[in-house]
């Protein structure tokens, strides 16, 4: 038993060298495999969530993300929806665009964004749409987060 334990100890110690090498040489492979296996993504509170609708305006595109109410378990009462406009070079000085975030066929809110100053205003026609949380000057465009509450 002592000899077996000793043998296993040495095996494990030598394996540590192989693990060290594999960690660096296989980092890219292991990372991809882990992502593929677990399907892990960045939390939508940071990424804004999946894009559910894209509108092409010719010089620029609008991307509407899904409403984010994600909590650790279940959903929060208040959340947000993120709208992106890109590329920066094609954006007009003032963007004014309406959105139907719950796909009920009615426009829920209009966001007006001044791309020179970053000032964003909201005209809401749905009581679940609360306010502009913030506008963000991205590397290649702009984004706005609109605060929502659960309907």
Binding stretches for another protein (CB under 8 A): 2, 5-6, 8-10, 12-14, 16-17, 19-24, 27-28, 30-32, 34-35, 38-48, 70-73, 82, 134, 136-139, 143, 145
CB of 96 to another protein, least distance (A): 21
> With the CA atoms of 60, 58, 115 and 53 taken in that order, what torsion angle do they form, in degrees rounded to the nearest 10?
-50
Which secondary-structure segment (H or E) carries 81? strand 75-86
47 vs 54 by CB, closer to another protein = 47
| Three-state DSSP state, 87 | coil
CB 80 within 8 A of CB 147: yes
CB of 15 to another protein, least distance (A): 8
CB of 107 to another protein, least distance (A): 25
51 vs 123 by CB, closer to another protein = 51
> What gap in Å lies between CA 90 and CA 140, rounded to an integer?
10
CB of 106 to another protein, least distance (A): 28
Among candidates 56, 102, 83, which has minimal Cα distance to 142? 83
106 vs 119 by CB, closer to another protein = 119
21 vs 52 by CB, closer to another protein = 21
Rounded to 10 deg, the angle between the 2-25 and 27-38 helix axes is 90
């Amino acid at each position: 038993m002592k000899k077996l334990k000793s043998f296993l100890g040495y095996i494990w110690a030598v394996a540590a060298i192989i693990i060290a090498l594999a960690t660096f040489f296989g980092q890219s492979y292991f990372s991809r495999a882990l992502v593929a296996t677990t399907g892990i993504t960045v939390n939508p509170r940071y990424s804004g969530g999946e894009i559910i609708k894209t509108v092409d305006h010719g010089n620029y595109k609008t991307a509407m993300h899904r409403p984010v109410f994600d909590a650790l378990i279940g959903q929060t009462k208040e959340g947000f929806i993120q709208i992106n406009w890109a590329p920066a070079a094609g954006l007009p000085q003032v963007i004014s665009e309406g959105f139907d975030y719950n796909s009920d066929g009615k426009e829920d809110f209009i966001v007006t964004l001044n791309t020179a100053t970053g000032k964003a205003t909201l005209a809401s026609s749905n009581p679940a749409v609360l306010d502009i949380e913030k506008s963000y000057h991205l590397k290649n465009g702009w984004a706005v987060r609109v605060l929502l509450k659960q309907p």
